[in-house]
Amino acid sequence: MAGFTHFDEKGAAHMVNVGEKEITERSATATARVVMLPDTLALIQDGKAKKGDVLGVARLAGIMAAKKTPDLIPLCHPLALTNVSVEFEIDETSNAIDIFATCKLKGRTGVEMEALTAASIAALTIYDMCKAIDRGMEITGTRLLEKSGGKSGVYKAQ
C-alpha cells in the first residue's frame, strides 16, 4: 500500500503513530459552497429564515464539528485545537454561500480533516435549516485550500 499512511505493510488499517513527529504550528483552511434559489439566499441574508440565524447556527455547527472530527472519521487523532473559525461569503451572482473553515494548533499532526469537517458540516447545516423551502440546494466544491506546518510544509490549492 505504498504512499498510503493509514495501512500497515500487510494492508491492515491502523492509526499512524505521530509520537516521534516534531511539534509545529499547523493550520488548514477548507471550503465548501451551497448553491440555492435566489429567494432562499435572500431569506438567509435578511435573517428571515423560519429556523432563525442560518449562518450563525452553521458557524457554531462547523466549529463543533471540527472538535468532533476524531469521533466521526476513523483513525483521526484527537487534537487540541487552538482555533477554529468558520466564515461565509455571499455570492449573489451565483446564488451561493461560500464557506471557509480554518483550524489551527501546535501539534504533531495536521488539521486538514478538521477544516474539511467544519466546512462540510457548516454546509449541511445551511441545507438543513433551509430544506423546507429549497430541497434543490446543492453542496459542492468541498476541498482543502491550504495547509501549513509539519514535515510536508505548505500546500496551496490551484
CB atoms within 10 A of CB 13: 11
Annotated catalytic residue: which of 8, 53, 98, 128? 128
CB atoms within 10 A of CB 120: 19
Collect all residues with Cβ–Cβ distance below 8 Å to 46 and sequence separation of at least 6: none
- In three-state form (DSSP H/G/I as H, E/B as E, the rest C), the secondary structure along 12-27 is CECCCCCCCCCCEEEE
Say if residues 126 and 104 touch (Cβ distance below 8 Å).
Answer: no
Q: Which three cell numbers stand for residue 153?
A: 510544509
Annotation says 128 is catalytic:
yes
Q: Which residues are catalytic?
A: 128
